[in-house]
Structure 1
């Protein structure tokens, strides 16, 4: 298989993996009605995905640096097929928790290998394309999964019956095709050492990583809000009762993230972060105002602004960190980035689920949006006041 074909397969796999991660979100309100469980349990179902993902990242997240991208991806896609099969046959909240846990393990196993592989096989004439497709593919997949399932929910009360068989077959196909991926040169170590939790950033990458922390937390916390709570929020607070409303709202966010990721390629890494943080700050303020005014138009505008900001900052941060990371350390570096990202997505979301029964969904959402806006403003201030000198080439 040629590097060009391998690059295309990894790009498609990134979109597919992320589409599967967001696919259950529009179905959550249907599951709640079907099995009568609480919003708190809903956030538990959502965050158990992140528990599986983080566990996989901590143990096998950098494994592809040691044994190659191919075997890691084949195993990850087989686990992903298992998770979608579990969704297909789910008969209650316990089954959803099991399916989401398996889905998280699959995602955590594949993510760093996919991101590193896209950098490995990126065209020599366009070395930044790997980081760009990692960011854009992630958001495009999330938009596709949530949007398509949201529309399907409008037409049938059992969207899960149609979605998850297709996804199961898709991952089995990806596992088969991944057996043909070329193997890059790897660092051979004993098996126990390859899976031992070991998180270390190269000295070259540390300033860029720490500079990325505020915008990463803000952006991924915002995605947690949308994936876990927004389908219920638009139904109960903005009074959109049609079944596809939640999925389409998530799709708006991730379409904007995709646009922001593409837009960032026309700006410097620092310029992308500054513009993105400003958009997230303004978007969070617009979201808060839309809840006060019960305005779906303003909510959509705020969602789009926040999404643009997430795409700009995430892509800018990946570029600045990837540019100073040696190829043999890329998987481990992306593991650390994803651990921060998904911890930022899950911890605030779980906290919101815990307080929502006593605070109410609207007050909880205001607090969550305020948290995102404050961090975004802090990220903007840091990016403006403390510029970094970034190297253009990776160390060898």
Structure 2
């Protein structure tokens, strides 16, 4: 009787708020956009405040560490109290972090702002992913695909928009954050009127989620997790150091070029995920993992040509394969995760993703203080390419076992 009532409530809610699914997708995209918006500005911060590449990676890693904390608790919290309170709290933190960015005049304030954004984005990604599955429980693979597209589109728009505003608008270290704050306020208004999508909430104390996954999907989980770890380790350096490296190698120091390099990568990732819906999730992930390994290696000769067109094209190729790898992994997991374990499973998934983003980024930044970034980058590329091939190997082995 209770289950019937909950199903009826969900159906009634869905008919009243047909826009809820789209709102949460947009919120997820905006959250990832907020995470990437400072990427084109790190060079300006370095010039204005005279800090090193290591400091840049620490600022970036602060975001990732805070996100790790958020994904550990937000899944369980959203399972108990609902998705809406978590999403509202996350956007509140996001807006506070943007205000800190607007007022920032030293590295400490950058660290605070990035910590706030890490917590906000981590909570949004986990609770938002679970909410989308609540709203369309029978469409997990499609939800995973659309989530991946939203993440990449949000990042591409935010990074390119931030670069354009910083290059051509007054107050380059203030204006981009002001524009994004207005957008986040609009999303928050939508969240206020959103009806809770998670009607079958758990009871009990709110605890830190353990990094464990359901036994019945463990092999599928690790295939998806290794794929996203390889992809997000690429993303970490791409957002923190790659724009500066591309500008140094090509001699083009316009902020829009650095932003365009990363934005074109994210756009290609979104397009790849959008058109790969007809490809099975596992196959898309395997193709993407192998493709990331190849295109990562191709970025090295592309950068060494000092030709901006080839650097841009290498980024587009990397983005397309990144989209397949990340999108395929997310689709695969979304399609197999049990309903009663959504929040905790997505927490475990993004815990590994953010760990893979933070650790290689800090190591690369530290190494760049001893050797040049141009020297460090090829070594980083080789290590991540091997990880990508490892993820692909697990997927191929699972295919062979299934056959």
TM-score, normalised by the number of residues in structure 1: 0.92
Counterpart position of 2:333: 321
Unaligned 5+ residue runs, structure 1?
A: 391-396
- Aligned residue in 2 for 1:20: 34
Structure 1 vs Structure 2 CA RMSD: 1.9
Q: Distance in 1 between matches of 2:125 and 2:399?
A: 29
Pick from 199, 202, 215: which aligns with 1:203? 215
Residue 5 of structure 2: aligned partner: none
CA contact (8 A) 1:281 1:373 kept: yes
Q: Following superposition of structure 1 onto structure 2, how do residues 235-384 of structure 1 map, counting pairs within 5 Å?
A: 235-384=247-396
The aligned counterpart of 1:151 is: 164
Give the Cα–Cα distance (whole angstroms) in 2 for the partners of residues 128 and 385 of structure 1. Answer: 22
Q: Is the 8 A contact 1:74 1:176 kept in 2?
A: no
Corresponding residue of 1:7: 21
Kindly indicate whether the alpha-carbon contact (under 8 Å) linking 2:161 and 2:176 is maintained by their aligned counterparts in 1.
Answer: no
Q: Deviations over 1:343-387 (max 9, x none)?
A: 111100000001101111101111111122222222233322332
Moved more, 319-328 or 13-22: 319-328
Equivalent residues of 2:76, 2:208 under 8 A apart: no
Please, which moves more after superposition, 114-123 or 351-360? Answer: 114-123
Corresponding position of 2:3: none
Where does residue 76 of structure 1 map in the other structure?
90
Report the Cα offset of residue 244 of structure 1. Answer: 1.4
CA separation in 1, counterparts of 2:401 and 2:144?
19
What CA distance in whole angstroms lies between the structure 1 residues aligned with 2:313 and 2:66?
A: 33
- Checking the alignment, whether the CA contact within 8 Å between 1:286 and 1:298 is kept in structure 2 is no
User: Which residue in 1 is equivalent to 2:226?
Assistant: 214
Q: Which runs of 5+ in 2 are unaligned?
A: 1-12
1:109 is the counterpart of 2:123: yes
Separation in 1, partners of 2:154, 2:401: 33
Tell me the alpha carbon deviations over residues 35-89 of structure 1, each in whole angstroms, 9 at most, x when there is no partner. Answer: 1111111111111001111111112233111111111111111111100011011
Report the CA distance shift for 1:250/1:114 in structure 2 as closer, same or farther (over 3 A).
same
Q: Deviations over 1:117-172 (max 9, x none)?
A: 11222386x55332112111111111111111112222146333222223223323
Are the equivalent residues in 1 in contact too, given 2:266–2:319 (CA < 8 A)?
yes
SS at match of 2:62: helix
Judged with a 3 Å threshold, the aligned counterparts in structure 2 of structure 1 residues 158 and 195 are, in CA distance, closer, same or farther, namely: farther
- Corresponding residue for residue 394 of structure 1: none
Q: Distance in 1 between matches of 2:230 and 2:58?
A: 21
After superposition, what is the alpha-carbon deviation per residue over 1:85-137, rounded to whole angstroms, capped at 9, x for unaligned? Answer: 1101111111111100111111112111111111222386x553321121111
**In the TM superposition, what is the alpha-carbon distance from 1:19 to its structure 2 partner?**
1.1
Which residue does the alignment assign to 1:64? Answer: 78
Match of 2:9 in 1: none
